[in-house]
Chains A and B, each alone.
Chain A
Amino acid sequence: MSELEQMYREVILDHYKNPHGHGLLEHADAHAEGMNPLCGDEVTISVKFAADGETIDEVGFEGRGCAISQAATSMLTDLVKGRTASEVATLPKEDLLDEIGIPLTPVRIKCAILGLGVLKVALHRAKGTPLPDEWQGLDFA
Chain B
Amino acid sequence: MAVTAERRLDAHKLRADFPIFAQEFHGKPLAYLDSAASAQKPRQMLDAMNGFYETSYANVHRGVYELAERATEALEHARERCRAFVNASTASEIIFVRNATEAINLVAYAWGLSNLGPGDVVIVTELEHHANFVPWQFIAKKTGADFKMVQVDTDGTLHLDELDEIEGNVKVVATGYVSNVLGGSNDVPRIAAWAHEHGAIHVCDAAQAAPHKRVDVQALGSDFVAVSGHKMCGPSGIGFLWGKTDLLLAMDPFLTGGHMIRKVRADETTWGELPHKFEAGTAPMAEAVGLGAAIDYLEEIGLDAIEQHEHELVAYALEKLAEIPGVTQWGPPADKRAGIVSFDVEGVHPHDVAQILDLEGVAIRAGHHCCQPLMSRLGVVATNRASFYLYTVPEEIDRLAAGLLKVKDTFGV
Contacts and interface: CB of A to CB of B under 8 A. Distances in A.
B410 A40 contact: no
Contacts of B352: 8, 66-68
A39 B367 contact: yes
A64 B406 CA distance: 23
B201 interface: no
The secondary-structure label for the interface of chain B is helix
Given A64-B381, A66-B349, A67-B349, A38 B355 contact: no
A115 to B, nearest CB: 15
A39 B348 CA distance: 14
A108 B355 contact: yes
A111 B351 contact: yes
B382 interface: yes
Contacts of A65: 349, 351, 381
A7 B381 CA distance: 23
Interface string A17-45: 00000000000000000000011111000
A66 B359 contact: no
A138 interface: no
A4 B368 contact: no
Given A13-B411, A65-B349, A38 B367 contact: yes
Chain A interface size range: 10 to 19
B86 interface: no
A3 interface: yes
Interface string A65-104: 1111100000000000000000000000000000000000
Contacts of B381: 40-42, 64-65
Interface in B326-372: 348-352, 355-356, 359, 366-368, 372
B355 A39 contact: no
Nearest to A13: B411
Contacts of A40: 367-368, 372, 375, 381-382
A1 to B, nearest CB: 12
Given A3-B26, A40-B367, A66-B349, 6 more contacts: A2-B359, A4-B406, A38-B367, A40-B368, A67-B352, A108-B351
Interface of A: 2-4, 7-8, 13, 38-42, 64-69, 108, 111
12 contacts: A3-B26, A8-B356, A13-B412, A39-B368, A40-B368, A40-B375, A41-B349, A64-B381, A65-B349, A65-B351, A67-B349, A69-B351
